Amino acid sequence: MKALVFKTADFDFMMSRWTRAFKDCHVDFSEVVLDPKNRPSLQEQIKIIESVKPDFLFCQNLYAIDEWEGWGPPLEEVLEKFKIPLIGWAVDNPYSSGTPAHFWRLVTGPKFSRRILTLCIDDQFVRSFEAHGIRARFFLHSADRDYSRWANESQVSPLFENQITFAATPPPLHFLEDQPQKSPELGLIEQGMHRLLGVLKAHPQFRDHSSQQTLLAQQVFDLVSPHWYSFFARDYPKPEELVRARESLALRIKEGLSPESQISAMVQHGLRSIDSYYGHVQMSLWIKALRSSGLKVFGGEGWRKIFGDTETYPRLNPQELAASYRQSAVSFIFCKPSLPETPSERVLETFAAKGLPLHNTRKGMHRYFEDLEIPSYESLPQAAQKMNELKDHRGDFESLIQKGHEIVMEKHTFHQRVKELVAIIEAE
């Protein structure tokens, strides 16, 4: 079995976990770096495929489709020519992430080749892809089994020992600076709507700034704005409610606009940005509030700006992250709203390192751990209460930690997923 792996700079670390597992599982592979500034020509790409003779192409989130744009023949034609499948490992919601070209193509592109298959870590992703004519199937999340080894090799650190820790890259909240502090999420949504309006007006269809086109853009704004204001005026909604609201709104937009060119897709891309803004704000406000209950934050100095203080928030490399999982009393996990049903991979990594996770409630948790009861929370007050209860009674959870560790190492590593992937390719 041989793979041709497409990599991007943004996701090099994530794809490297796959390639390490490929190597360990004796799956031969070659890599192509998709760099928009220096990407290979179509002829060079064809030569690579002819030279490697891969059994399948592999990429994250179908980004290879993006980068193929402008190379010449559509990717579908190349796949048919070489009679090989393209497998996309979809770890992000197609409604709430991805580059504009990637998203527009998903929404408005031609029917995809049956040789393209997405492996989705969330059932909602499967429904989203299939709604746009792209084959998809559920595929469990994974943990790097090296977290177990790294944790075993780690030295005890006062940074982590007996602490309640949270590690995440600070979200890009620079756009919050001029927003009203009493309700930043509503101010953020308003700004997002104006950005959407600006994107629409900048689209080629609006270049002559005719009254009809400007009116269309304003109609989009009027359609979207009241709905999102009423939705976000409530207390933080549950992830599945967020998904239903977003998809319902996307459908209303499609029905309310003429299907000219890519306008509907442009609008939905604007919704993606708004959804991302909400996830960033929600996480930041929760983490900021939980610090007063003993939560220790890592991830980078961007947190200092969000919290408005002078403390340091070290960024952890994978080995340090494994140490934090093992040595912390509790590893607090906040799963983003765009993953409405599946748990974060952090819960798998924590168990791999023999740590104790506290995760926001996800109904898909049983698919990983069956009847094992994983500590979870549904609200901000509950999160504050539970993380300290777990810390105070850490010794009561050793059997849970051991069982979770055994399940992850047996069923949920990238090495196990490679075996499943090979089976899927052979079936193709």
- In the chain the domains, ranked by start, together with CATH numbers, are 2-142+417-427 (3.40.50.2000), 146-169+315-411 (no CATH), 184-268 (no CATH)
Cβ neighbours, 10 Å, residue 216: 19
Q: Could you list the pLDDT tens digit for every one of the 428 residues in the chain? A: 899 998 876 667 788 899 999 999 999 999 887 766 666 666 777 788 889 999 999 988 766 655 554 444 556 677 778 888 889 888 766 554 443 344 444 444 455 567 888 898 888 778 767 766 678 899 999 999 999 999 999 999 999 999 999 999 887 654 444 443 434 444 444 454 455 455 445 544 444 444 444 444 455 445 544 444 444 444 444 545 555 555 555 555 555 544 443 444 444 444 555 555 556 667 877 888 899 999 999 999 888 877 878 888 999 999 999 999 999 999 999 987 767 788 999 999 999 999 999 999 988 899 999 889 999 998 889 999 999 999 999 999 999 999 999 999 999 999 999 999 999 998 87
Spell 235-264 as b/e; 16+ CB within 10 A means b: ebbebeebbebbbebbeebeeebeeeebbb
Look at residues 62, 146, 43, 71 and name the one whose alpha carbon lies nearest to residue 106.
Answer: 62
Q: Please tell me the distance from the alpha carbon of residue 228 to that of residue 186, in angstroms, as a whole number.
A: 9
Q: Please tell me the distance from the alpha carbon of residue 82 to that of residue 54, in angstroms, as a whole number.
A: 9
Q: Which residues contact 87 (CB under 8 A, 6 or more apart)?
A: 56, 57, 58, 59, 117, 118, 119, 421, 424, 425
Q: Please tell me the distance from the alpha carbon of residue 286 to that of residue 380, in angstroms, as a whole number.
A: 7
**Token output for 369:** 């751990």
Task: State which amino acid sits at residue 17.
Answer: R
Q: Please tell me the distance from the alpha carbon of residue 310 to that of residue 237, in angstroms, as a whole number.
A: 32
pLDDT computed for residue 75 by the predictor: 65
Contact 163, 394 (CB under 8 A): no
For 32, the 3-state DSSP assignment is strand
238 half-sphere exposure, CB direction, 13 A CA radius? 9
Contact 387, 358 (CB under 8 A): yes
Task: State which amino acid sits at residue 248.
Answer: S
Please, where are the H alpha helices in 257-397? Answer: 263-290, 302-307, 318-327, 345-352, 366-369, 380-392
**Token output for 30:** 């070659």
Instruction: Name the pairing type of β-strands 164-167 and 295-298.
Output: parallel
Q: Which residues contact 230 (CB under 8 A, 6 or more apart)?
A: none
Helix 239-256 and helix 263-290, axial crossing angle in degrees, nearest 10: 160
Token look-up 């269809």 returns 205
**Token output for 324:** 């934090």
Q: Please tell me the distance from the alpha carbon of residue 357 to that of residue 147, in angstroms, as a whole number.
A: 14
Residue 31 pairs with which residues in a beta bridge? Answer: 5
The phi and psi torsions of 126 (rounded to 5 degrees) equal -55, -45
Token look-up 């997405």 returns 118
Q: Please tell me the distance from the alpha carbon of residue 296 to that of residue 166, in angstroms, as a whole number.
A: 6
Look at residues 375, 377, 333, 323 and name the one whose alpha carbon lies nearest to residue 354.
Answer: 323
DSSP code at position 395: G
